[in-house]
Each structure stands twice: as structure tokens, then as C-alpha cells.
Amino acid sequence: MDNLYLFAILAGTRVAVEAGEVEAVVRLTDISPVPGMGAHVAGLSALRSRVLTIVDVAAIVHGRPLPPEQRGLAVIADISGHSYGLMLDSVSDICRVPEGELPLRGQLDPAWALYARAVVEYDGHPWLLVSLASFIEGASAAQAA
């Protein structure tokens, strides 16, 4: 593993994502709502001639969608052959962390228990290591229930 991570704020929390999961980080311009979808689907958007499903991670994790004026950035990922944009609050950096991931220790917010799998220490702070696919899989499981 090359220990290259994207560091971002996602649903108000510092997270790290393995760079191999990230296709791009883009500024969202237009999101077209899709009637009848769960609150975690903000809508559809276009990127380089393909359709993205825009996912509101805050709605998945905290049960409250981001207000429209805060929908500015998204991390783009191909998950199970589908293109997704997962909305971000902000992006801090992308860099290597030689130590890589560390085990989860201490108290973890229950809202993040399904999504955090480790911790990455960067810039003097712990960042939850998450997999972008876990948000899609978790939302699909919740919707099926």
C-alpha cells in the first residue's frame, strides 16, 4: 500500500480516504433533484459526459441533508461500476502518510461506527479512515430495510 490519502471534512468530521478510491474532487455546479429518492440522494449531475448520482453523506451519517447553499464540493468515485459524487464540506490535502492507518481506539461517535475502519494521523490530528463505498452500501442497506 502506498499510504496516499485525501484529507477532507465530510459531514462535519475529519476523514481520510485512500487515494485509490478517489477519481477526482470537483466543484458542483448543477444538481438536478430526483423525485422519490431518499434524502441521501441530492440528485444527478453531469461530469465529462457522464451522469453522477450525487450523495449527501451528511444525510446518511446524521440524518440531516446539507442545505443547498453548502453543496459545493464532491469527491468522485466509481463504486460497483456506477459513478458517484459524495458531497464534501472541504478538502484539506492529499499526501502520503508513512505510518499509514492505525487501529480505532477510544470513543467513536456511533453515527460513524459503520463507516470508520481506522485512523490516520496527519497534521497533528486523527482523521477517520473511511471507504467511500461504505456510504453507498450503508445507504442501500438502510433503504432496503
Q: Does residue 10 carry a pLDDT above 60?
A: yes
Give dist(CA 56, CA 39) in Å, integer: 8
pLDDT in tens, 108-132: 899 999 999 999 999 999 999 999 9
Tell the CATH topology of 4-144: OB fold (Dihydrolipoamide Acetyltransferase, E2P) (2.40.50)
pLDDT in tens, 58-75: 999 998 887 777 778 999
- Is residue 15 very low, low, confident or very high in pLDDT (cuts 50, 70, 90)? very high
- Provide the greatest CA pair distance for the chain: 45
Q: Which sequence spans correspond to the domains of the chain? A: 4-144
What was the pLDDT predicted at 95?
Answer: 95
Give dist(CA 7, CA 19) in Å, integer: 9
Q: How many CB atoms within 10 Å of residue 124?
A: 5
Q: According to DSSP H, which parts of 63-111 are helical?
A: none
Give dist(CA 30, CA 40) in Å, integer: 17
Q: Does residue 7 carry a pLDDT above 50?
A: yes
Q: Does residue 5 carry a pLDDT above 80?
A: yes
Phi and psi torsions of 136, nearest 5°: -70, -45
Which pTM value belongs to this model? 0.88
pLDDT in tens, 16-45: 999 999 999 999 888 998 998 888 999 999
Distances (CA, A) of 26 to 70, 75, 115, 134, 140: 14, 6, 22, 20, 24
What was the pLDDT predicted at 140?
Answer: 56
